[in-house]
Chains A and B, each alone.
Chain A
Amino acid sequence: MEQEKQKAALNLSLVMGDNALILGHRLSEWCGHGPILEQDIALSNIALDLIGQARLWLSHAGKLQGGKSEDDLAYHRDVFDFHNFQMVETPNGHWGTTLLRQFVYDAWHHAMLQKLVLAQDEDIAGIARKSLKEVNYHLRWSSEWVIRLGDGTEESGAKMQEAYADVWPYVGELLQKDTWLTELEQLIPGFQADEIISLWWKTVREVFSQANLSSEPMDWLYRKGHLGHHTEHLGYILAEMQFLPRAYPDATW
């Protein structure tokens, strides 16, 4: 029983931590390239929150793995050891693509955290309570942008629909009842994966209808990022992110 709980806690921490780390890294690529200063700053702030959260989750995962550090996990694992969804590693595309990806992720993240704050494990509940406060702001911001662009000019609406075609195939992974998700019942009494999925749909439907975006069904691509199956993009991210600590293992600042 204890062992199963540990396994559930570790898998969860890796999925949450790796998603936050890789998405945070992707968003940081916008720093200095945003369309206007305020929004450049907004994305950089969100990136910072996510990387801060990644540190919390990965520190916890490291502890569960017998004393590894957050840096060991961030810098010294290879592609197939990362548990993030494929969606967060996809290239940023244009502003609308980044925003739409952010919104569907925020909606998922928000739904997850609302359940994780109920975990009996105080470390997990603590990280979730801290993160939820920040993710409230993320979700509000990305929702407003999706609505503003979707329901904006003819051009912005068309670009959002195009973004939808780019992002949607990756969404399926957020909505699967995979083992790492269903085993959360070990940590949260009465947990049901379906609740996350229906919370996600509720937010997405509400925002899409205000944004005048059609959400026609599209086939999900589903390649199990949480089991280490990734797109070619993750390797490039890691090559950049891990270069320094691997080339200069003793570097400090």
Chain B
Amino acid sequence: MNRAITRKLAAAATNAYQSKVLRKNLCGGANASAATSTQINNHIHEDKQSFTHTVHPYDIAIVGGGMVGMALACSLATTPLTKHLNVAIIDSNPALGSKVSIKKEDPPDPRVSTVTPATISLFKDVGAWQYVQQHRHAYFDKLQVWDYTGLGYTKYYAKDVNKDVLGCVVENKVLHSSLFSRVEDTDFQKTIHPSRLTLMSLHPSSSSTVESSSSTEASYVNGCLAKLELSDGSSLYAKLVVGADGAKSQVRQLAGFKTTGWNYSQNAVICTVEHSVENQCAWQRFLPGGPIALLPMGDKFSNIVWTMNPKEAADCKSMNEDDFVKAVNHALDYGYGPHPKSSLLASADMFSWLGGNLVISANDSFEVPPKVVKLASARMAFPLSLMHAKDYASRRVVLIGDAAHAVHPLAGQGVNLGFGDAFALSRIIAEGIAVGMDIGEVSLLKKYEAERKPANVTMMAILDGFQKAYSVDFGPLNILRAAAFHGAHHISPLKRSIISYASGEQRLPLFS
């Protein structure tokens, strides 16, 4: 360390003492007047006047207040060791501006997530599930999977894995607003910056000769803070920056984390449909072009996720509603091929080498999903892709959710992995605080990475395998695929571990 810097730092250190006094006064004032803990930082100028030189640094800046970013905020706000943290949430999404009131009679949104029992219990732990329950949601305890060749089908039950439910289908906006409402009901110190991140500097260049006019700047120059610049021209400092800004993460790019990934030349068409009876089960059928899933949403609505090539997707989006409803009913019933054989005896012989109990109980027999009567939302098409960041963490930066890994919507696992990240990161931050660590320290953040990477990579490999196995029409090889179904149907331990993993338990599939 050279002399000049040393002297500058000494001056800065003195400054720090002065600014502390300032800050104390400010906090006192804020407490006295604070009716709600949320501050919307539209008044940057005011801020600048009160601190001529000292920009108040945050403990954590969460870039991206989507479902995963909000889950982190919620977990931090409700954990004894972290609830005192001073957190900034940066997102221009207007949903964060004020309490959005979702009415039960609002038409269902096509963007839904299938949350796993593991996610549900995390939501319960932080007290957010009760808010979800005030809105439309649909639990399901049964999943039927079959394919168009008519050779095989399988059914998964929650009771097979000693659970009450396999999952719950909830609109994304409900999950988001539930987490947000939960945070609002605590006295967590958070500041929402309705803006977007444009620049981030973590390691100021050594040539930076800016006269450190404030202690904050000095801390930054010394790598004790990260500096963020926002599209509204303001800037802020934080000990830790969390990238929760989705698949196209700016934080990831600015931090220089590399990614691997690929696109499948397939799209998912997503929409909400209505039935005349309540749908109680989750359904998935593999068609020559890819799978179609029908997920119960409650109030006689279901969500459709239908994978196909981009041309078909474009057609599906543009065809008239009646034709689309017909196409959906066709795809979920006799289209492309017969129902799987109700008499399984022949195939039971065929697969006897798989062992297991071949007696099928009555309610285990093949069922046809309820008919769709009406389209209930716009149709949206998304390209399928898989993306994984090679690093999740470095000094003062960490990625969670889609910023670290984006998976195709096929198995509805995307946001569950993200919630897993958010809650794990919150726990690890709490562990660091318990032993007085600087929360931006790389050794702490690498602990989070070491915990989450294997879980995410495993799930991605499974989803990739699914995709490969079912996106191609194997012709005669379909019999193998059918065999796999039968295998899954009859070999309980195997089936159990598949469901366990898909329902968010930590155990590795197939190897447990």
| Pairing of A with B | no
Which residues of A are in contact with B by a Cβ distance under 8 Å?
Answer: none
Which residues of B are in contact with A by a Cβ distance under 8 Å?
Answer: none
